[in-house]
Amino acid sequence: GQSLEQPSEVTAVEGAIVQINCTYQTSGFYGLSWYQQHDGGAPTFLSYNALDGLEETGRFSSFLSRSDSYGYLLLQELQMKDSASYFCSAGGGYQKVTFGTGTKLQVIP
């Protein structure tokens, strides 16, 4: 089976940097992706890591270490609109895609 673990809540100050960690256990692993979900909305895709290392997309970066079964999402220059839930997701065998339980990020002034 597959399981992904994330912290349930994180609070950070506007303008700061925050890191959301994700550890995974999967039977078959293709890559780790990240999604953002605002209250009442659908998840939207943020980033994907198939290989070890850092991927940068604007203020958001994502990191993967396959040897450690670990990844993180880094959000820089936090804005109030970044307050949302963030999910990591692992792609496994036979196109099965499993999500973590999500991290609720609260950005405070």
Q: How far is the CB of 60 from other proteins (least distance, A)?
A: 15
Q: For the chain, first and last CA: distance in Å?
A: 41
Residue 15 C-beta: closest distance to other proteins, Å: 29
CA–CA gap between residue 15 and residue 31 (Å, rounded): 29
Is residue 89 at the binding interface for other proteins, with CB under 8 A as the rule? yes
Give whichever of 16 and 65 is closer to other proteins, judged by the CB atom.
Answer: 65
**Contact of 98 with 26, CB cutoff 8 Å:** yes
Q: Does residue 7 interact with other proteins by CB under 8 A?
A: no
